[in-house]
Amino acid sequence: MTVNNAHHPAFRAIRSEFVDALNVTVQEYEHVVTGAKHFHIASENDENVFLVGLKTVPTDSCGVAHILEHTVLCGSERFPVRDPFFMMIRRSLNTFMNAFTSSDWTAYPFASKNKKDFRNLLDVYLDAVFFSRLDPLDFSQEGHRLEFAEPNNPESELTYKGVVFNEMKGAMSSTTSVLWQAVTKYLFPSNTYHFNSGGEPTDIPDLSYDDLMAFYRKHYHPSNAVFMTFGDIPAEELQAEFETKVLSRFDRLEDKDRVSVPNAKRYFSPVRVEEGYAADEAKEDGSHVVMGWLLGESIDLSQQFEASLLSSVLLDNSASPLRRALENSDLGASPSPLCGLEDSNKEMSFMCGLEGVRRENAPQVEALILSTLENVAEQGVDQDMVEAMLHQLELSQREIGGDSYPYGLQLILSALSTAVHSGDVIAQLDLDPVIERMRNKVREPDYIPNLVKGLLLSNAHRITLTLSPDEALESLRNQAEKDRLSTIKAALSDEQKQYIVERSQALKARQEQVDDMSLLPKVGMEDVPAKIPEYDSEVLEASLPVTFYPQGTNGLVYQQLVVDLPKLTDEETRVLPFYTSLLTELGVGEHDYLAVQSRQAQVCGGISAYSSIRTEIIDKQRVNGYFVLSSKALVPNAQDMTQLMADTFVAARFDEISRIKELVAQRRARRESSITGQGHVLAMSAATSGMSGLAAQQEAWGGMTGIRSLIALDDALKQGDEALETLRQTLESIHAKMQATSKRLLLVAEPHHKESLLTVVAPVWTAVENHEQVTTFSLPAVDDTVKQAWVTATQVNFCSKAFKAVAGEHPDVAPLTVLGGFLRNGFLHRAIREQGGAYGGGATFDGSSGAFRFFSYRDPRLLETLSDFDASIEWLLTNDHSEDALEEAVLGVIGAMDKPGSPAGEAQSDFFLQLHGRTKAYREEFRARVLSVTLDDLKRVATLYLTKENENTAMVTAGSNKELLSQAGFEICTL
């Protein structure tokens, strides 16, 4: 790869290094005047990425950095419109746009494959970050404000509103978030990590607009910034934009004015603390016990990788000594979600513990962890395990990602903390020398024991936190907020009341103003790629048919065994998700699960299993289903990976009863803790569950109904052997049926590895018999109406309405798909987020179940939001709308369709789309229909499908709303 190392005269070059494992060149520059750093990752990849990161160091939990992140994106000097961020989402073909607030930095990233679009977004982001308007009304909207329940009536109840205020109420409804904040509060007694950078809901109302402005002036300066870019646009071109648009207007900050993060004061002896979290009921075994150690600085790469290796050796999989002790302990239900190394802060921390613990057993959990560490320090660990962890590090270094975040953004984020804290970014990205040095060090038998002693056992800066359920906490917290508001209201003068009323009116007027959109750059239909990508593949002859996709995978091979799902009984269908999650976590043949976990770590990047089920294009009540066994490995390990996959598929051990019981308990803990993070998805699943057999089954598997069933199963397994034996027999029955059906293989690798891979892969699978499929998986048709309210421990709500519509290849699927973005852009974003105070809301169409779905996320309101859903339909039908608004909605759909993934991910997606009948011709026809949607089409499908008789409603909410919702006709559902 030839790289242009030229740079703009305003910058000086510091270093440039080619990283062979990533096939990129990392270039480091510094702006001469301000000292701003620019790291450019030069690549042949045409998905260009930009990020500007700023060191932001809160000194309290008022959420100033987080609220500033939101408010910065509400208009700037060159783009004085009210909401340029969300407007640009609509006017762009971006593959990623967002902003992040971390514990000690704030970042503004975006990505695009379109050069014009990239430069448009660069203009808007640079101006937003460094020349933000920061209007006081935007602070009121995004941060917090006082408002009367009836905005024009000062005698009505006083309330708090604000997007971040409600976002953090939702975030802090998650027990895992509460646990993290409690651990860091005590682990970092004296610096910025002591505080909640997102903001505690109790503290957010203490933040003033003047505080926000002071924080902006101190932190948002180029001398405190790092620019990071990735892609095929040369660094010189990017630097010209930085200099012209931003840097030429700033001088360098003096050292005394620069933001820094002091190290935390160290403890001389361990600390033990207790706190509570809100729960529906105070279960005796509902406590979390977590131990945490404060380690060295993350920018010291030697310390970072030693800590990372130690964490992996102790906790990576079930055969790792500390995870094994935690999983096998009767003291708790499962390992804590906080287990592992946190190295994104300036100072690293290591944590481990158990959840589902009786409060009085906390000392025993601490003793278990310490005794396990002492045992490792005395006896060491198997050398194969240490080598396996280095293998995992090498595999992760070489893998080209991009399925969740753009690949370039993944690389940038992996180095961002190091860049912010003035560490060696190139060394952080080039792990091969580090791996080689570590490989030499680990040959010493005392290496891991000495790390355990030095980093953990002899480290006095240690805490043990016990976090226990408190069923009174939520009501006490709500009452405290009401009392605070009552006190404030009682002290308000008539002038102050009038000010609140007038500010509410001013904010409403600002939210409803029509901005001059021409002030913002845009892409148009002419910038939309004409066709979707085409992927080469060929079917190779072997004992099992092999479909091979040649893709640039940087020395990795991806393999999947794809099995036609057979006909299953109702009980087998119910248990199918447990089969897929348990299969790769159990023993194989003569080897127990511990040996298999070790073997997986040594030869591949783990093995996973899942089911791929989609409705047929011609009938949403009929499905196609496949079971998939998947893995990846470095090409030299392809044969060992294949053998392990085949062994797992043929000889999985369902006789490991205690392991099955333990894994179900872990699954329950993960699902329960995830509710408030994905409440909108769960609400939509419930609302859609009456629309097809697959939608009903997806709710029974993964929705609130599925979580309730999982809780019941876990409780039954704890009560006796009968339920465990029934589950084991059902798993065995499913497994036998999987053996007796049709199978095929999918391989993705670089083209020159095709023949050698087939040579080592094909012989292994000859031991797996292929059968002609006799029976096929099916689900009973479902057509019901739903009106449910699921209650759980949450401070905010998640609302959804779903309307029955058409599916598959029906021509109305295209306008229904465009309609979701049109309603969000034109009405729902303003009504639900800006005016209603929810963190998010919108509409989307599910073409598989034929459901048009409205949703809100972390919402302070309930029935009012449902009314807003209806009002958006009325808005659509009773108003004239512009062609520009239609174009924005169409661009949003096309952008989502064209979003790139990893090389392997794109090949796998193409394979399964075709397997499910979504051929390239079908996708191109749908694309053409989307591009031809008219405003009349939108009104027509809304009139036809978004009607009361097609309406279904569901929400996830707090128990305190049960009476209100029951009176409104909702079925009240509990876990």
Catalytic residues: 69
- CA–CA separation, 235 and 256 (whole Å): 30
Between CA 872 and CA 890 the distance in angstroms is 18
Confirm if 684 and 855 have CB atoms less than 8 A apart: yes
Separation of alpha carbons 765 and 642, rounded Å = 8
**What size, in residues, is the chain?**
975
CA angle 162, 681, 51 (to 5 degrees): 60
Burial class (CB in 10 A: 0-12, 13-18, 19+), 968: middle
| Closest to 310 in 3D by CA, of 461, 453, 452 | 452
CA neighbours within 13 Å on the CB side: how many for 253?
Answer: 16
Ramachandran category for residue 280: left, alpha or beta (phi over 0 → left; psi -120 to 50 → alpha)? alpha
Collapsed DSSP state (helix, strand, coil) of residue 370: helix
Write the CA distances from 155 to 167, 486, 882, integer angstroms.
27, 12, 41
Helix (H) or strand (E) holding 864: helix 863-878
User: d(Cα 212, Cα 65) in Å, to the nearest integer?
Assistant: 8
Q: What is the dihedral of CA 952, 956, 961, 966, to 10 degrees?
A: 30
Q: For residues 217 and 839, what is the distance between their CA atoms, to the nearest angstrom?
A: 26
> CA distances (Å), 181 to each of 106, 365, 571, in order?
18, 20, 41
Phi first, then psi: what are they for 29, rounded to 5°?
-135, 160
Please choose, from the candidates 303, 305, 335, 324, the residue with its C-alpha nearest in 3D space to the C-alpha of residue 396.
Answer: 305
Smallest CA-to-CA distance from 899 within 37, 18, 89, 80 is with: 89
**Strand 538-540 vs strand 225-231: parallel, antiparallel, or unpaired?**
unpaired
Burial zone of 533 (CB within 10 Å; 0-12 exposed, 13-18 middle, 19+ buried): exposed
Q: Say how far apart CA 339 and CA 341 lie, in whole Å.
A: 7
Distance CA 702, CA 691 (A): 16
Alpha carbons 270 and 573: distance in angstroms, whole number: 50
**Which residue reads 């024991």 in tokens?**
449
Q: Which residues of 317-341 are buried (b: 16+ CB within 10 A; e: fewer)?
A: bbbbbbbbbbbebebbbbbbbbbbb
Report the distance separating Cα 223 and Cα 744, nearest Å: 56
Do the beta carbons of residue 14 and residue 30 sit within 8 Å? yes
What is the distance between the alpha carbons of residues 610 and 580, in angstroms, rounded to a whole number? 5
Backbone angles phi, psi at 188, to 5 degrees: -120, 85
Residue 166's Cα: distance from chain center in Å?
Answer: 19
Q: Assign residue 35 a region (left: φ > 0; alpha: ψ between -120 and 50; beta: otherwise).
A: left
DSSP 210-257: HHHHHHHHHHSSGGGEEEEEEESS-HHHHHHHHHHHTGGG--PPPGGG
Reading the block at residue 285, the tokens are 């075994």
For residues 267 and 290, give the distance between their C-alpha atoms in angstroms, rounded to a whole number: 17
